[in-house]
Amino acid sequence: MPRKEIAKRRRDDAGPSLRPPCFAHEQHQQRYARLTGLPLSRTFLLDWDPLEQLHIADRVRSLLSVNGWDRVFAINEATYREHTLEVLSSFEFDRSPSALLTTRTISFQLYGVAHRMSLDRFAIYMGIYDQDYLRIPGTRLLTSFPGHIISHSRYWQQLGGGPNKKASSMTDPVHRYIHALVSRTIAGRTDSTGVVTVSDRFLLYSIFERTPIHLGYVLADYIAHQGQSHKHKHIIAGPYITRLIRGMPVELRTDGIEHLHLMQPLGMNTLLQMKLVQLSGGRYRLAGRLTSRRHLRRRLLRVFLRHPGRASLSIHAQPSHSH
């Protein structure tokens, strides 16, 4: 098993180091003290080259084309240590149903200034939705697994999942690849256990069944969990926080700020280590058998026949995307 590499710290010599931020809330100050002791670690982004070699790029591109998933997995930013620590330490996300429709769902501190915004505005700053999304009347996207349609355990069985909850039990290698992408990016895990959590199933359901969910909710939950959970041993949310700052009407300050480039493509070597790919006769091949397009269409048809109102339950209006 290869040794996990943690990026070494580098100091930008363009200016003097900044003083630690001061927070209005004691819990944020305590969170900052804890987070400063954690190292910044790498995270992954989608790499199309191995997918082209494996002849699955078109299928993956089709699966990710709904709801802005392709934009999420294309995020590629540097990590600025001070900015990351300040935002993570103060990031609050009110997940209550009543709060999700307000302009104060998300709050955090940046450059010593408090910022509050709606979930939709946050998603726009993250570059997932464009400005026209806010003007679509009645837009509602899923924020949790649609248990009224199918339970997460039943859906896991449909994917071929076994009782051990391992991604390796999924029968389709493309599904296993996308789970590897999810777990190593917005699921906030750098482990190699390959466990498919209930939260993972919600994200996979959105991708595989082409059901739009609120990706602003997903990213806000990811950032909040990175800052508040004591289970994390590394900080990997830096690139996403940089993307947030770039989208806001503020200037990204870089002088004298420690920064690292921690984004790593999910390349062929990683896929080999995960045993998703085999090297045979000098050629890379997917391990396992791809699910045919006919089988996918039949499975989707069965879902709609069993639940004819599924589309109206999952989304009232789909956001537009302009690349």
Convert the pLDDT of each residue in 229-249 to its tens digit: 998 889 999 999 999 999 999
Of 71, 115, 72, 113, whose CA–CA distance to 93 is shortest? 115
pTM comes to 0.81
How confident is the model over 95-122, as a mean pLDDT? 92
Question: What confidence score (pLDDT) does residue 142 get?
Answer: 81
Greater confidence (314 vs 182) lies with: 182
Residue 290: the pLDDT is 55
pLDDT reported for residue 200: 93
For the chain, the average pLDDT equals 82
Residue-wise pLDDT tens digits, 37-58: 999 998 899 999 999 999 999 9
Say if residue 150's pLDDT is above 70. Answer: yes
Q: What is the pLDDT of residue 25?
A: 96
Give yes or no for residue 317 having a pLDDT over 50: no
Which of the two residues, 41 and 322, has the higher pLDDT score?
A: 41
pLDDT greater than 90 at residue 280: no
At 78 the pLDDT is 96
Q: Which pLDDT score is estimated for 137?
A: 55
Is the four-CA dihedral 287, 288, 290, 291 of positive or negative sign? negative
Positive or negative CA dihedral for 214, 42, 248, 222? Answer: positive
Q: Does 138 have pLDDT greater than 80?
A: no
Tell me what the mean pLDDT of segment 281-292 comes to. Answer: 74
- Region 133-145 average pLDDT: 68
- Averaged over 177-187, what is the pLDDT? 90
Above 90 in pLDDT, residue 206?
yes
At 72 the pLDDT is: 95
Average pLDDT in the 190-208 region?
85
- Residue 323 is predicted with a pLDDT of 34
Q: Is the pLDDT of residue 125 over 80?
A: yes
Q: Averaged over 214-222, what is the pLDDT?
A: 94
At residue 306, does pLDDT exceed 80? no
Given a cut of 70, is residue 262 above it in pLDDT?
A: yes
Q: What is the band of 161 on the pLDDT scale with cuts at 50, 70, 90?
A: confident
Res. 67: pLDDT tops 80 = yes
